[in-house]
Amino acid sequence: MKKHKDTLIGQIASVSGNIISVKLFDNIKSAMPIIDGVVYRVGQIGSFLKIPLGYANLYGLVTNIGADAIPESMRDTTLVEYDKIVNAGWISLVLVGEQIGNKFERGITQSPTTGDEVHIVTIQDLNIVYGGWNEASSITVGNISVSESLAAKIDIDKLVTRHCAILGSTGSGKSNTVAVLLEAIAKNDFKSSRILVIDPHGEYNEALKDYSKVYKVNADTTKNQNELYIPFWALPFNELMSIFSGNLTEANRDYIRSEIVNRKIATTELIDESENKYIDISKESITADSPIPFSLNQLWFDLDDFERQTFIKKEVDGKKSNELIKTEIIVHGDADRLTSNEYPPASTNNSEPFINNKAKAILRFTDSIRSRLLNTQYNFLFDCGELKPDLTGKVTKDIDTLLAEWLEHDKPITILDLSGVPTEIMTSISGALLKIVYDALFWGQNTPVGGKQQPLLVVLEEAHNYLKAGENSISSRTVQTIAKEGRKYGVGLLLVTQRPSELDETVLSQCGTLISLRMNNSKDRGHITSAVQDELQTMIDLLPSLRTGEGIISGEAVKIPSRVKFFKISNAPKSADPKVSEQWQKDKPDANLYKEVIKNWRSQTIK
C-alpha cells in the first residue's frame, strides 16, 4: 500500500454542499511528490484531487488555494489561532464526479465527510477520468493541458443539441478551434453530417477546403466556389423593406405590404406547363412573409407609375365634366429596364393636368428600390440567376432547389461566405438566411430531410455582430428561437465571439457547452461568469493567463470541466496572424500592384 500513502496529501476539514475544504498535511504544502517517476504539483487551480470512499472514488476540482480556501466558520477565530490556520495549507474543491471500478461518471451519489483522506490524482486516475468515451459519438479536439498524453474529447450529441459557444479575445484561437472541431467531425464516420457555417469574413474556405462546399457572393469559380444567391422574395416583409432606404408612413407600409401579398397570390394562381396551378396553396395562408416569388421590377414599376400619373377633366359633349381621366403616356417605361412611364407634367397652379390625388407620395422610396435594383452589390438578392422571377412572378428554379444545394451535397460542411455582402445589410441578410434555413427545417420536421432525422449544426462566426444584446433584429430573433427551440427540431448552434459582453445574454445562457479561450477583458469575463456553474468561477479567473489555442471546456459536451490545448489546424484559417518579422525582412513588392488594389476595390472583388 505504499503507493497509496504517497498520494495522500490531506484531510477534509469541512463539507458544505459539494464544496469541500481540505487541510493539507504540514509536510505537503510546498512539496512536489514524485510517484512512479512522475513529478506532481499539489493544488493547481483546475486540477483534480481524489477522495477514496471504500468502493468508489470521488473527484474534486481545485477551485481555491490558501486563505480563501479556509472554511467560513474557521475564519472567525482569535488572531493567534487564525495565524495557525492560515499557515497550514488549505485547498477547496468542488466535487465533480465519481469513479466506480473503471468507470468515471459526472455527478456524485454520496458525500464525503470530515476526516476523509484526500489524494493526488495520478496519470492512471486521469486516464479513467478523461477516458471511457463512447468512440462512436465523440471527437478528439486536442490534449488535456495537465497531461499532454491525454486526448481531449467532446461528445458530439451534446455539443450539437445543447448548443455551444466559443469565446475568447482576438487572436486567442477561436477560428482555429472551430476549424479543428469541424474537421474532427468531417473526418469522422459521420457521412451525413450537416454543418452550415455563416462566415462573415470568408475565413474558412481555405482551412476546410477538403470538407466543404463554398457559396460566395461574386464567387471565384476557379477556386471551386459557387455563387451565393439569396432570393429577395424569400425574405420576410420587414427585412425586405429594411434593405431600401427612406421612411414610410404606417399607411404606406400597409399599402406596399398588401401590394406584395396580392402579387404573391397572383403568382400562385398562374398556370404551369401541365395546366396546374403554379403553386398549389390556399390563398388565405399567404402573407407578405410567405416565401413565394413575385416580380420586384414590376412592383417598382407599378408603384412608380401610380405616383407619376396626371389627370385631366373628361370632356362630355364638348364640355369639361368633373370626372377625371388619366393623361396619355408620353414615353413608355420598361419594368425590366427600370425606366418610368412619363406623363404630361402636372400644372403647378391648380389647373390641368392635375397630379394624381390618390398618390401616396412615396417616390423617394420607390427611387430607393430602383437604385438598389440597379446596384450590382445587391445582385445576389435581386438579380439572383434562375431564382429571379420574370415580370409575371415565375421562376425557373424554386427555393427547394436552393436549400437542397446548400444542405444536401456530398460534403459535410457548407460555408456561406458573406464577405461580399454590403456591411449595412449584413445583419438583415445573415438573419434572413438563418430564418430561411430554420423555417425550412421546422416545417419539414417530419420529413427525412428535417432536422430531427438529419440534424444541422449552424456555426455563427463573429456572433456579436448579428446578435447584439437588446436588439430586435431578425438575426437576434432567429438565433433566440434556435437557442430556445432548435433542440426539438434538430438544429444546434455553435456561436463564436470575442465580445461575450455584447452578446444577447439569454442566448449565451442557452449554450450547454462553453469553450472559453484566453480572455483579457474583465467585462467579457464577467459575462462568462454568469453563464457557468457557480463553483467554477475561479476557473474563469484563469482565462487571462491561457496560452493561444488553450481553453477551458465546461458544460454538457464534456464529462468534467477541462483545460485543453487544442490542435492546430494544418490549413490555417485566413485570419491567421501575419508573420511580421519575416515579411518585413523581404524585398518590398512592386509599387504598380496598387493598380490591382484599386481595380479590386472598384469591382468589389478580392483576387
Catalog residues that contact ligand ATP under the rule CB under 6 A.
168, 170-176, 498, 548-549, 566, 568, 572-573, 575-577
- For 476-483, which contacts have Cβ atoms below 8 Å and span 24 or more sequence positions? 476/431, 476/504, 477/431, 478/431, 478/434, 478/435, 478/438, 479/431, 479/434, 479/504, 479/507, 480/504, 480/506, 480/507, 481/438, 482/434, 482/438, 482/458, 483/163, 483/507, 483/510, 483/511
Pick what 551 binds: Mg ion, ligand ATP, none; C-beta below 5 to 8 Å, kind-dependent: none
Q: How are beta strands 212-216 and 413-417 bridged, if at all? A: parallel
Residue nearest to ligand ATP (CB): 549
Pick 35 or 576: Cβ nearer ligand ATP: 576
Rounded to a whole number of angstroms, the minimum distance from the CB of residue 57 to ligand ATP is: 32
- The Cα–Cα gap between 144 and 47 comes to 11
What's CA 200's distance to the chain center, in Å? 10
Q: What residue number has its CB nearest to Mg ion?
A: 175
CA distance 220 to 214: 10
Q: What, of ligand ATP, Mg ion, none, does residue 99 touch, CB below 5 to 8 Å by kind?
A: none
458 SS3 class:
strand
> At closest approach, how far in Å is the CB of 138 from ligand ATP?
19
Residue 584: count of CB within 10 angstroms of its CB: 9
Contact in structure between 452 and 445 (CB atoms under 8 Å):
yes
Residue 176 site contact among Mg ion, ligand ATP, none (CB < 5 to 8 Å, cut-off depends on kind): ligand ATP
Which one, 296 or 528, has the nearer CB to ligand ATP? 528
Q: Are 138 and 153 contacting, i.e. CB atoms less than 8 angstroms apart?
A: yes
Give min distance, CB of 202 to Mg ion, in A: 12
From the list Mg ion, ligand ATP, none, pick the one residue 566 interacts with, judged by a Cβ distance below 5 to 8 Å according to partner type: ligand ATP
Contact of residue 295 among ligand ATP, Mg ion, none (CB under 5-8 Å per partner type): none
Query: Can you give the binding site for Mg ion, defined by CB under 5 A?
Result: 174-175, 575
Residue 538 binds which entry of Mg ion, ligand ATP, none, with Cβ cut-offs from 5 to 8 Å by kind? none
* Nearer CB in complex with ligand ATP: 71/171: 171
User: What is the 3-state secondary structure of 533-551?
Assistant: CHHHHHHHCCHHHCCCCEE
Instruction: Report d(CA 396, CA 387) in Å as an integer.
Output: 6
Residues listed for the chain: 607
Please report how close the Cβ of residue 31 comes to ligand ATP at its closest, in angstroms: 33
383 alpha carbon, distance to own chain's centre = 27
Q: Which partner in ligand ATP, Mg ion, none is near 168 (CB below 5 to 8 A by kind)? A: ligand ATP
The distance of closest approach from Cβ of residue 547 to ligand ATP in the complex, given in angstroms and rounded to an integer, is 8
Which CB sits closer to Mg ion, 30 or 423?
423
Q: Which one of Mg ion, ligand ATP, none is in contact with 576 (Cβ closer than 5 to 8 A by kind)? A: ligand ATP
Q: Are 528 and 543 in contact (CB under 8 A)?
A: yes
Q: How far is CA 324 from CA 321, 359, 375, 417, in A?
A: 8, 14, 38, 54
Q: How near is the Cβ of 170 to ligand ATP at its closest, in Å?
A: 4
Choose between 143 and 175: whose C-beta lies nearer to Mg ion. 175
Residue closer to ligand ATP by CB (options 161, 498) is 498
User: Considering beta carbons, is residue 290 or 430 the nearer one to ligand ATP?
Assistant: 430
Instruction: Report in angstroms how near the CB of residue 577 gets to ligand ATP at its nearest.
Output: 4
Closer to Mg ion at the Cβ: 175 or 218? 175
Question: To the nearest whole angstrom, how small is the minimum distance from the Cβ of residue 515 to ligand ATP?
Answer: 11
Residue type, 175: S
- Report whether 234 contacts 429 (CB < 8 A): no
